[in-house]
Amino acid sequence: MTTTPTPTPTWKPTPTPTPTPTPTPTRDWNYVRSFRKSGDISQDLSKYTDSFTIKGEKWRVDYSIKGSRETGEITVLVYPKGETFYIDSFSCPVSVCGRQENTRYIYEGSGEYYFYVIAEDITKWVLSVYDYY
C-alpha cells in the first residue's frame, strides 16, 4: 500500500483591501443674487445695494447696462460690509458694455460685501453675483 503524503499548508498573506478614494468636491459657479435699477435717463440711478455673502475664494459679477446716449457709463465700487474703503472697482461706457453681457472676476475671498453703483446717463443696469465654491 502506498501512502500519499499530506500536503504542508503554505502561508498566504491576507489581502489588504484597496482604500476607496475620497472624491474631490466639485466646484461650480453658484448664483447669489441680482441687483437692478431702471428709469428715465433724467433720474439718478446710482445706489448702494444690500449686502450679500460670498463663501468661496473667488466670485464674479455679470453685468449689463442700457442707456439712450453713448455717453452713458456705469461705475461699480465693491466694499466689504461695514467698510468705507472699496476693495475693487470697474466701469464701462454704454458704447462698449451696452451691447453685450459683461463679467468682472473678484478674488477677495469669503465675506460679506455690497456695491455702490454710479450710473451716468443710464436707463437700466443689472448686476448678478455668482460665487465659486
**Is residue 17 situated within a structural domain?**
no
* CATH number for the domain that contains residue 60: 2.60.120.380
Q: Identify the pLDDT of residue 8.
A: 67
Q: How many domains are contained in the chain?
A: 1
Residue 103 in domain: yes
Q: What is the pLDDT of residue 27?
A: 93
Q: Is the pLDDT of residue 9 over 70?
A: no
The residue range of the domain holding 74 is: 30-132
SS in 3 state form for the chain?
CCCCCCCCCCCCCCCCCCCCCCCCCCCCEEEEEEEEEECCCCCCCCEECCCEEECCCEEEEEEEEECCCCCCEEEEEEEECCCCCCCEEEEEEHHHHCCCCEEEEECCCCEEEEEEEEEECCCEEEEEEEEEC
Does residue 90 belong to any structural domain of this protein?
yes
Is residue 50 one of the residues assigned to a domain? Answer: yes
Q: What is the pLDDT of residues 76-114, one digit of tens each?
A: 999 999 999 999 999 999 999 988 899 999 999 999 999
